Structure 1
Amino acid sequence: MQRKIRFLVLLLMMGLVLAACKSEGKETSGTGGDGEVSGEITVWAHPYTAGPETESTMWDEMIASYEDEFDVKVNFETIPWDNRDQKILTALASNNGPDVFYAIPDQMPQYAEEGMLLNLDPYLEDNDMDDFVDTALVATKWKDKTYGLPILQEASTFFYNVDVIKAIGEDPNNLPKTWDEFEEWAEKAKANGFYAMSYPGGGSMNGTLYPWLWQAGGDVITEDNEVLLNSPEGLESFEFINNMYQKEWIPKDSITAMEHNALWLGGDILAVMGSANLIAELQNSDFNFVISPPLINKEQLTYGTTGMFVVPSNSDNPDAAAEFVKTITNAENQRIFNTTTRFIPARESAKDIFDNDEYMSQIASNTQYALPGVIHPKGRSIMPLIGAELQAMMAGKKTPQEAIDAAEKAIEEELGK
């Protein structure tokens, strides 16, 4: 997969050079030389719900709000999630791609580092940037430049089984706030025949290591390729995970498991990490649950993705594309989009759509703590390297220090490629 992407990036860079030659002298620093935009643009987005008809109505309304203001025709296309990287890179390399497309945090820095994205900062002077949630903007920036505007966020946190809380003699109205308090509950859960939490060790670091690492005050890597993982804070997070496994607070298959849905829904687990999508599932099954804010150690942080729209640097109409991104991420369109998709708006003022929804408003209040992962071109490729060392540690083949030493070395080798 990585070789294919590198090859496609090479093709893309050739396409960008040709596009730059074609468009030399073209105004790209604002809304055209005369302050107006015109022409047409092509927009690619993905399906965000299971209801294409509902989404079609949503996009019609959002696009109309743009076309009513600008003399620009929008050609909109929904593309599947599968193989999206290859589709986007191939289209852009052939100079036949969209003018606007949807990106997630581990795509943006890869594309930005290769010169594939338009710097949006010159277009944002009249945009209300202060209304965006600070953590949402983290995902849109690479080396002090803004390459996207966010339309949605998520925030993962603990969902607790109320019946299990009561079975261990605790109060569902007084949930753990710190690591120490959670460990006390974990001990009680184990003593009463329950697991404390689900740990899907075969999955993404975003749902396993990173929240604990950030809460411990640690981090993974900087924009300048300094590896930060192997630190006292990083070691504390490795030790915490190892302690959970060795004390059997988490299921035996946690080393490689992708989920523990059967155990959770069967009432065998005290807590799982989840976000807005878990709410509807639990409500539909009449599951008795409560939601907590993220835990605190040195920091109160968690993981939550950010979805954004970006403009490729070889767009034939960058001014119109930039204005489109600004329009569909304004507060009103964020209300329309997130009411339909049930994500959390990335603008504070648009979160009022969930004011009367007990659970969604709780998730919305947690986005202030939600980091979007490791924002780095190698963010995706270093995950399995770290995961392999955590698995070796949990299996008893390495100490936490040996595992984090090996993870640091593996990351450095990956950066050197």
Structure 2
Amino acid sequence: MKKIGFFLLLILMGALIVGCSASETGAGDKKTNEKKSEETGKEEGLSGEITVWAHPFTGNQETEGAMWDEVIASFEEETGVKVNFEQIPWANRDQKVLTALAANNGPDVFYVIPDQMPQYADAGMLLALDPYLEGFDIDDFVDTALVSTTWKDELYGLPILQEAYTYLYNVDVIKAIGEDPENLPATWEEFEKWAEKAKDKDFYATSFQGGGSMNGTLYPFLWQAGGDVITADNKVLINNEAGVEAFEFINKMYSNGWIPKDSITAMEHDALWEGGKMLAVQGSGISVSRMLSQNLFEFVIAPPMKNKEQLTYGTTGMFVAPANTDNPAAAAEFIKVMTNSENQKKFNTVTQYIPTRESAKDIFGEQKYLAQLATYTEFALPGVIHPEGRTIMPLIQAELQTMMEGKKTPQEAANDAAKAIEGKIN
């Protein structure tokens, strides 16, 4: 691989690597992929080898390893390209990738999540995939899954997995407050009525993990109010009317006692939920699997809530290629093949995430809860897609916590969050 300078991004990630030479590798200079021969089904014009890095996605490495062996063997036979696969740990993954690429021994394909992609893309580190997608079926992907793979109108990755967070309700608590488990709240207004009834019966309405990620606290309400945090061109929106409405809703939940008193800094409320003291919690496929394994009580899943918009949070995982790969055509082809419908079924059957292709969502069969969650990915946004998305999160969190402590009004907290964001990006 040719060396390129990563100084800008290394500063961004808090690491410093010195002495990297720079060479420009524009997407327009890349050799585009030749089409598959319709007669043979073989990929023409590909050769050489690529290195692929991915993380462990399950606790069963034997099954996961067999899946990778099958996918890679098929790709190698189809294309003639040798694949060197390496599994790397989640811990310190940014520094490992950046250090390896700068030292000229990094991967040609690697896995990233939504808050990594715009940082890498904005620094010119990723290969734009658009030139390699002629004739490729992009329409089968869920629209929300492609949000996190695109930066400033360029596609830099293809998604392999998705999640959708929504409320799981305790059926016993629903009945205790005199409501119907087949008629769950669909709007903020309806949820508020149930929350007040839950409080009157000495239940909490829901969990609020104020010490955790904004993806699970403020952002879903912000999107449901019709708002956003920041645009790609650095316009800060968090303190507009919709933003303030989201702050107000959270403040109302806390002030009214619908969420626990420790919600300002809490990381979880598992004991309250599992002990039957809570009406609902936000959860995803992992939450469902845990509930089924514990078999504590009957639960039902509601569609994502709506205020002005029906939206929620759900991460997306994708494969990308570095801009300085020596084999861009093969790297792009591997990403395309890895995320096709057949391989998404294999990958997500093993990992139990939700496929990002509509044609692959039938893998859950009789797993009714996961099949239900899979229908909600159309509402699942992957977070704040911006190079500073990760770094502005604690700034917003601090203002939200100050508001919940009663030291600022929702408007003041939203305004100060906007100021903090502007100070970071300017």
C-alpha separation in 1, matches of 2:190 and 2:210: 23
C-alpha separation in 2, matches of 1:136 and 1:65: 25
Q: Is the 8 A contact 1:43 1:77 kept in 2?
A: yes
Q: Is the 8 A contact 2:64 2:350 kept in 1?
A: yes
Which ranges of structure 1 fall in alignment gaps of 5 or more residues? none
C-alpha separation in 2, matches of 1:213 and 1:275: 19
**Identity fraction in percent:** 66
Deviations 1:224-258 (A, max 9, x none): 00001111100100000000000000000000000
Q: Which residue of 2 aligns with 1:402?
A: 412
Deviations 1:136-169 (A, max 9, x none): 0001000000000000000000001111111111
Alpha-carbon RMSD: 2.0
- The CA deviation at 1:403 is 0.5
SS, match of residue 280 in structure 2 = strand
Greater alpha carbon shift after TM alignment, 109-118 vs 281-290: 281-290
The one-letter code sitting in structure 1 at the alignment partner of 2:419 is K
C-alpha separation in 2, matches of 1:110 and 1:7: 9
TM-score normalized by the length of structure 2:
0.93
C-alpha separation in 1, matches of 2:13 and 2:232: 23
1:119-158 to 2 correspondences below 5 Å: 119-158=128-167
C-alpha separation in 2, matches of 1:356 and 1:138: 29
Q: Which residue of 1 aligns with 2:170?
A: 161
Could you say if the C-alpha distance between residues 236 and 24 of structure 1 is closer, same or farther in structure 2, counting changes exceeding 3 Å? closer
The one-letter code sitting in structure 2 at the alignment partner of 1:47 is P
Q: Pick from 209, 214, 219 the counterpart of residue 218 of structure 2.
A: 209
Could you say if the C-alpha distance between residues 244 and 12 of structure 1 is closer, same or farther in structure 2, counting changes exceeding 3 Å? farther
Q: Is the 8 A contact 1:148 1:310 kept in 2?
A: yes
TM-score normalized by the length of structure 1:
0.95
Q: Which residue of 1 aligns with 2:384?
A: 374
Number of residue pairs aligned between Structure 1 and Structure 2? 411
Could you say if the C-alpha distance between residues 170 and 85 of structure 1 is closer, same or farther in structure 2, counting changes exceeding 3 Å? same
- The CA deviation at 1:95 is 1.6
- The CA deviation at 1:37 is 0.6
Q: Which residue of 2 aligns with 1:29?
A: 32
C-alpha separation in 2, matches of 1:83 and 1:357: 34
- The CA deviation at 1:12 is 8.6
Q: Pick from 335, 344, 356 the counterpart of residue 354 of structure 2.
A: 344
Q: Is the 8 A contact 1:41 1:73 kept in 2?
A: yes
Q: Which residue of 2 aligns with 1:415?
A: 425
Q: Is the 8 A contact 1:12 1:93 kept in 2?
A: no
Which ranges of structure 2 fall in alignment gaps of 5 or more residues? 1-7, 36-42
SS, match of residue 131 in structure 1 = coil
- The CA deviation at 1:285 is 1.1
1:294-313 to 2 correspondences below 5 Å: 294-313=304-323
C-alpha separation in 2, matches of 1:3 and 1:143: 17
Q: Which residue of 2 aligns with 1:334?
A: 344
- The CA deviation at 1:28 is 2.8
Q: Is the 8 A contact 1:13 1:114 kept in 2?
A: no
Residue 6 of structure 1 pairs with residue 12 of structure 2 = yes
Could you say if the C-alpha distance between residues 18 and 9 of structure 1 is closer, same or farther in structure 2, counting changes exceeding 3 Å? farther
Greater alpha carbon shift after TM alignment, 141-150 vs 356-365: 356-365
Residue 235 of structure 1 pairs with residue 235 of structure 2 = no
Could you say if the C-alpha distance between residues 409 and 13 of structure 1 is closer, same or farther in structure 2, counting changes exceeding 3 Å? farther
Could you say if the C-alpha distance between residues 370 and 263 of structure 1 is closer, same or farther in structure 2, counting changes exceeding 3 Å? same
Residue 273 of structure 1 pairs with residue 282 of structure 2 = yes
C-alpha separation in 1, matches of 2:319 and 2:273: 35
Residue 55 of structure 1 pairs with residue 79 of structure 2 = no
